[in-house]
């Protein structure tokens, strides 16, 4: 896990349909507006990805900076989910061995474009969510 100065930032693949839906899912349920978002294709997102050793041209994970620590793969998804109101129960999945959780995560990540599709350009958030996007 790595340190980063900004907190509660979700790094995602902005051209991935599944990843963009994940961001909308989180934004809708994050009533406290705690999380902010950055597409890996943005200048800020690219810097963040490179700082964490993620290839911005071929990302294999999303990431979240929470409590000043960067989490990746299944840890990132569960960290975000368990912070959302009504989703604390997902903390129970941390009991599943990390190699197993990450294997499932990696299988979906590897096939995400084929299964869910890909946008030509980064998805553009609506005006309400735009204030939470870091570019």
Q: Give the whole-angstrom CA distance, residue 56 versus residue 49.
A: 6
Strand extents, DSSP E, 45-114: 63-66, 69-72
* pTM, rounded to two decimals: 0.86
User: What is the signed CA dihedral for 98, 100, 101, 106, rounded to 10 degrees?
Assistant: 110
Pairing state between β 9-12 and 63-66: antiparallel
Write out the two tokens for 60. 């294999």
- Determine phi and psi for 64, rounding to 5 degrees: -140, 135
Q: Give the whole-angstrom CA distance, residue 33 versus residue 98.
A: 28
Q: Give the whole-angstrom CA distance, residue 10 versus residue 39.
A: 8
What 3-state DSSP class applies to 82? helix
Give residue 75's Cα distance to chain centre: 10
Q: What is the pLDDT along the chain (135 residues), one digit of tens a residue?
A: 455 668 899 999 988 889 889 999 999 999 999 999 999 999 999 998 998 888 888 888 889 999 888 899 999 999 999 999 999 999 999 999 999 999 999 999 999 989 888 887 666 666 666 667 767
pLDDT of residue 118: 84
């Amino acid at each position: 896990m790595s340190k980063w100065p900004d907190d509660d930032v979700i790094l995602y693949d902005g051209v991935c349909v599944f990843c963009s839906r994940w961001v909308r899912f989180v934004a809708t349920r994050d009533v406290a507006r705690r999380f902010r978002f950055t597409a890996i294709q943005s200048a800020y997102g690219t810097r963040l990805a490179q700082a964490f050793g993620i290839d911005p041209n071929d990302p294999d994970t999303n990431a979240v900076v929470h409590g000043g620590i960067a989490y990746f793969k299944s840890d990132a998804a569960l960290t975000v989910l368990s912070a959302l109101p009504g989703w604390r129960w997902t903390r129970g999945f941390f009991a599943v061995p990390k190699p197993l959780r990450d294997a499932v995560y990696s299988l979906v990540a590897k096939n995400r474009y084929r299964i869910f599709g890909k946008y030509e350009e980064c998805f553009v958030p609506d005006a309400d969510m735009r204030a939470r996007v870091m570019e």
